[in-house]
């Protein structure tokens, strides 16, 4: 059969027994012909909705054979591959090379990985070999991430699953396992940062409008900046443990960058001009400079820790449309870009030497570099004995030097500090033993009555907020009509991500077993429908009682 009339825009084909099956994505059909003669042209599906790829789901098309790599994977440490000479050879994954024994492998990458959140996965790319690996799959909506190089972890926040998780990694390998660290009382964890010297995890929560800290495993959790109207929409957060300083951005009605102690005290606004959407921040811990990226002004800027000596590194709407996060490594600043779905870089001093580092990323969000230089070691002022603190020890800020010299203690939520300013006890313990806190000025009556009053106030506030939310939803346009460029309708991290999710549809048919117990063969089709929110696969039966009318000429 050679007539073009019968095969307009044929795309995929597959052989099964005596038939050749063909997809035609212009007229939305799947046809078949005799594989030997091309005759007996038949349509078996006329409404396939732009079919392209096609495969046969049947054991007949994958006959059993003898594997040359059994047993013990052919003695290969990574890949065992068959050859046309009926033998097997060992091979390595990208980023590795075979040793002289032709079976074991040697890592040849730099071990310095550009790590980034990609919506449903956490990925990393070796900065020397460009080899890419998936650290974690089946992530819901990853937004921000950070690393702990010495302990070998990547942490990330998930705004849809409302949790913070981590996975173990090192220079040469990944574990593939996921451990959920913070899962309770989390709403929109937009930004996270790791204090690698004092082993603390900090994060912002735009839903609750507060900032919290915990141990690396999620224990000893404390709210360091509460929802007291001083925060509007906290976003990015970074820490410099050597100086004991914490920085966070707020992209609400009064956009700004603030600096504070690591317990949330002594807050100071250091940047509040030429700033609108401070999506991401990073610190050059060697140069002691803060960098941030603005998603509205399309620029990257840098400043000293006190907000002085501020300058623009790059400002270009064509190069930085819809940027999200950034990281400084070596002489370069890297950033993720929503619109181009890339990670790019420029020289951090001049803004020149622009290059695209990673392409074709589904939804690039938070980025970091997994390398020892990113988290330099320093003096831990809480050693030894955790600074005498019963729970959390942190360095007090060094505003005029590069190294903190003293420490303080803080208590987790629902704990109170005793008069020694080092020992924390739970509120339940205080109620049972009131003498423990008689020198603190906190009474049992206050501990019982004040929370009750607080609960009543919170309930009233929630009722008011619900009414306001209902009124605004009733009188505003739907989310799908909002755009990133409209300041009055800027979308949250959650909305932006939800709008990029492909809405996968279920298979229109399910595989059923015949009465004999064998599996009926199926054709599996993939659609090339132009709407990215409606891509799907389909299964159709190719035996049984299916009607197969003839079309065209034989």
- Domain presence at residue 414: no
> Within this chain, do residues 355 and 245 fall inside the same structural domain, yes or no?
yes
Domain count for the chain:
3
**What is the C-alpha separation between 51 and 57, in angstroms, rounded?**
16
**What is the C-alpha separation between 323 and 400, in angstroms, rounded?**
33
- Domain presence at residue 419: no
Q: Is the pLDDT confidence value at 546 over 70?
A: no
**Residue 513 pLDDT:** 38
The reported pTM is: 0.69
Chain segment 38-92, per-residue pLDDT in tens: 888 888 888 888 888 888 888 777 888 888 888 888 889 888 998 888 888 999 8
> Within this chain, do residues 49 and 101 fall inside the same structural domain, yes or no?
no
Residues paired with 337 in a beta bridge: 323, 342
**Residue 446 pLDDT:** 44
> Within this chain, do residues 28 and 137 fall inside the same structural domain, yes or no?
no
Contact partners, residue 187, CB within 8 Å, separation at least 6: 162, 205, 206, 207, 208
> Within this chain, do residues 102 and 120 fall inside the same structural domain, yes or no?
no
* Domain hosting residue 103, numbered range: 79-107
CB 113 within 8 A of CB 123: no
> Within this chain, do residues 353 and 255 fall inside the same structural domain, yes or no?
yes
- Domain presence at residue 309: yes
**Residue 61 pLDDT:** 79
- Burial group, residue 135, by CB count within 10 angstroms (0-12, 13-18, 19+): buried
> Within this chain, do residues 94 and 30 fall inside the same structural domain, yes or no?
no
| 467-474 mean pLDDT | 54
Of 59-63, 173-177, 303-307, 438-442, which one has max mean pLDDT?
A: 303-307
> Within this chain, do residues 94 and 126 fall inside the same structural domain, yes or no?
no
């Amino acid at each position: 059969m050679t007539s073009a009339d019968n095969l307009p825009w044929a795309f995929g084909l597959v052989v099964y027994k005596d038939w050749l099956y063909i997809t035609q994505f212009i007229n939305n059909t799947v046809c078949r012909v005799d594989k030997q003669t091309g005759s007996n042209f038949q349509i078996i599906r006329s409404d396939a909705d732009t079919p392209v790829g096609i495969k046969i789901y049947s054991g007949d098309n994958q006959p059993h054979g003898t594997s040359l790599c059994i047993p013990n994977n052919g003695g290969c440490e990574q890949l065992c591959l068959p050859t046309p000479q009926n033998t097997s050879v060992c091979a390595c994954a990208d980023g590795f090379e075979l040793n002289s024994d032709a079976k074991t492998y040697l890592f040849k990458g730099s071990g310095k990985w550009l790590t980034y959140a990609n919506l449903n996965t956490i990925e990393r790319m070796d900065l020397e070999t460009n080899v890419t690996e998936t650290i974690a799959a089946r992530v819901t909506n990853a937004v921000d991430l950070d690393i702990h190089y010495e302990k070998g972890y990547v942490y990330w926040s998930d705004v849809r699953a409302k949790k913070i998780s981590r996975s173990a990694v090192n220079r040469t390998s990944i574990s593939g396992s996921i451990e959920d660290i913070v899962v309770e009382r989390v709403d929109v964890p937009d930004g996270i940062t790791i204090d690698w010297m004092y082993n603390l995890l900090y994060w912002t929560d735009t839903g609750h409008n507060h900032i919290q800290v915990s141990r690396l495993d999620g224990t000893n959790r404390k709210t360091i900046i509460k929802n007291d109207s001083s925060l509007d929409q906290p976003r990015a957060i970074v820490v410099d443990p050597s100086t004991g300083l914490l920085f966070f951005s707020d992209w609400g009605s009064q956009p700004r960058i603030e600096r504070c102690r690591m317990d949330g005290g002594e807050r100071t606004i250091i940047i509040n001009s030429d700033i609108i959407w401070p999506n991401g921040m990073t610190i050059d811990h060697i140069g002691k400079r803060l960098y941030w990226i603005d998603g509205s002004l399309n620029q990257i800027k840098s400043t000293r820790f006190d907000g002085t000596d501020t300058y623009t590194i790059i400002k270009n709407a064509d190069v930085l449309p819809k940027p999200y996060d950034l990281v400084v490594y070596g002489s370069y600043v890297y950033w993720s870009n929503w619109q181009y779905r890339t990670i790019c870089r420029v020289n951090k001093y001049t803004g020149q030497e622009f290059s695209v580092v990673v392409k074709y990323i589904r939804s690039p969000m938070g980025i970091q570099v997994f390398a020892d230089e990113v988290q330099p070691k320093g003096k831990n002022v809480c050693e030894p004995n955790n600074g005498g603190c019963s729970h959390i020890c942190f360095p007090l800020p060094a505003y005029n030097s590069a190294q903190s010299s003293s420490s303080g203690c803080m208590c987790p939520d629902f704990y109170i500090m005793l008069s020694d300013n080092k020992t924390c006890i739970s509120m339940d313990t205080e109620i049972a033993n009131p003498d423990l806190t008689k020198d603190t000025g906190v009474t049992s009556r206050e501990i019982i009555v004040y929370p009750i009053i607080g609960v009543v106030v919170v309930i009233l506030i929630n009722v008011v907020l619900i009414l306001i939310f209902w009124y605004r939803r009733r009188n505003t346009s739907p989310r799908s009509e909002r755009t990133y460029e409209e300041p009055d309708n800027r979308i949250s991290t959650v909305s932006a991500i939800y709008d990029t999710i492909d809405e996968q549809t279920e298979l229109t048919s399910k595989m059923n077993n015949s009465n004999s117990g064998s599996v009926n063969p199926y054709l599996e089709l993939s659609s090339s429908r132009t709407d990215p929110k409606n891509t799907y696969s389909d299964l159709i039966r190719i035996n049984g009682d299916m009607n197969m009318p003839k079309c065209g000429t034989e």
